[in-house]
Structure 1
Amino acid sequence: MYEISGLTKIYQGKGKNEKVHALQGVDVVIPDNDMLAIQGPTGHGKSTLLQLLGGLDRPTGGSLKFDGQEMAKMGEMSLTKLRAQNFGYIFQGFNLIPTLTAQENVETALVPLGVSKVERRERAAKALTDVGLGERLGHLQTELSGGQQQRVAIARALVKEPKVILADEPTGNLDEETRDDIFGLLEKLWADLGLTVIMVTHDSALSKRVPRLAQIKNGKLTIKRERAGATGV
């Protein structure tokens, strides 16, 4: 569970004295097994918040707790371990390594965890099978469609058996039919595995399908729709 209070992020602007207030006092609780979509205008803090939630950046101020641990105060080694064990990332651009096969791309997520080569191959093959690519283990990125590449990216996020999936525009590069397939897959994995899924999206069609919806504008977050039956959020 995330417990976030007064979270701020300030970047140095182009001018010497210019400051960019990307996040301005975000307060939100994100419980286990939540599926939350975050919408908002470009440049208003969506991706910044996602990066902070995944430990890819550090806040300027406020409190950011994950399972009771204050991420803002963790040392770099502890934060790296937390990232590796708990968070799976999905990006709009897939971020696959073009010289590696689908299976090898998925295996890369397990290297920081010290998993043996044999176990890496077994777990990567299973993850790809779980996302419908069991017959594409040896294919390179150029031999896969956009939807298949995103499935590889999802398998890479899942193979670590994370608690949280963080997705930044996960369907942004896909056509409408493929978008629906990929989001349907995310919905199934969320329901079957009990994951917490947090995604940034501009897609209104997807935002209508998630149980919980938030909006960021001018660095401030507002919950626009609560999950049915949710309390304490």
Structure 2
Amino acid sequence: MYTLTGVSKTFRARGSTVTAVRDLNLSIADGEWLAIQGRTGSGKSTLLQLLGGMDRPSTGTVNLDGQDLATMSEKQLTEIRAARVGFVFQMFNLIPTLSAIENVEAALVPLRTPAVQRRERAAAALAAVGLADRAGHLPSELSGGQQQRVGIARALVKEPSVLLADEPTGNLDVDTRDEILTLLEQIWTANQLTLVLVTHDSAVAALAERVAVMHDGKLDITGTRIG
């Protein structure tokens, strides 16, 4: 699925150079669940952006099934993100003026999916996350957990091969966190997705097949879940 070789990412900030990811090598197997832990500023979210083609490395290669995301055109990267990669965010990133089903449908617009099919697929995606009865509600009319379920449905409606989740439970209470994690695990199993989840929460990371810890842009694989 993914092979990263010699990947570094630097930024210019306040007149100095900041290295967010430092000479990183990583392989992620097709269908694997990898959790990436680390403190704020350790580089884990930057790594997720590189995996999703939302940013480019300063050096190195980010290979996704034989294609180097680092050398693709913006048009090619947009097509990869639209068709193959689903994103789940900590802040949900829902459009406040659109209903739940319209937020989910929005993910299919770049794929030029006909309107009738968009509505059918969005309804099915909401049903899959337990929100069939909330399809017409605005984000402001939903709880935090329900908003994140809409975010997950929006990511899944594209039928991606990769799901990238950036602190997906960071804004939720413990009970709701556990509900969302159970849902993600069910989706990962049922859809045979490759799941890369960034978190600072050890309880969240412990569910993954493999755990990696980032510190100062370096990545350390710390273990594999058994059972």
Instruction: Report the TM-score when normalising by structure 1.
Output: 0.95
Give deviations 1:54-98, integer Å, cap 9, x for gaps: 000010001110001011011111111111111000000001111
Q: 2:133 is paired with a residue of what secondary structure?
A: coil
For 1:160, the equivalent position in structure 2 comes to 158
Q: Give the whole-Å Cα distance in 2 for the aligned partners of 1:107 and 1:209.
A: 30
CA RMSD of aligned residues (A): 1.0
Q: Which runs of 5+ in 2 are unaligned?
A: none
Give the deviation of 1:228 after TM superposition. Answer: 4.9
The amino acid across from 2:34 in the alignment is: L
Residue in structure 1 matched with residue 59 of structure 2 by the alignment: 61
**Secondary structure class of the residue paired with 1:33:** coil
Residue 206 of structure 2 is matched in structure 1 by 208
In the alignment, what sits opposite 1:2? 2
Residue 207 of structure 2 contacts residue 225 of structure 2 at CA under 8 Å; is this kept in 1? no
Runs of 5+ in structure 1 lacking a partner? none
In 2, distance between residues paired with 1:4 and 1:219?
14
Which residues in structure 2 correspond to 1:139-178 (within 5 Å)? 139-178=137-176
Q: C-alpha deviations, 1:116-174, integer Å up to 9, x for none?
A: 11000000000000000011111111111111000000000000000011011000000
Q: Give the 3-state SS of the residue equivalent to 2:134 in structure 1.
A: coil
Same amino acid, percent of matched pairs? 58
Q: Give the length in aligned residue pairs.
A: 227
Report the Cα offset of residue 208 of structure 1. 1.5
Amino acid at match of 2:41: G
Question: TM-score with structure 2 length normalisation?
Answer: 0.98
User: Which amino acid is the alignment partner of residue 154 of structure 1?
Assistant: I
- The alpha-carbon deviation at position 226 of structure 1 amounts to 2.7
- 2:11 maps to a residue whose letter is Y
Tell me: CA distance 1:228–1:29, structure 2 relative to 1, closer, same or farther (3 Å): farther
Q: Secondary structure at the match of 1:147?
A: helix
- Give runs of ≥4 in structure 1 deviating > 4 Å: none
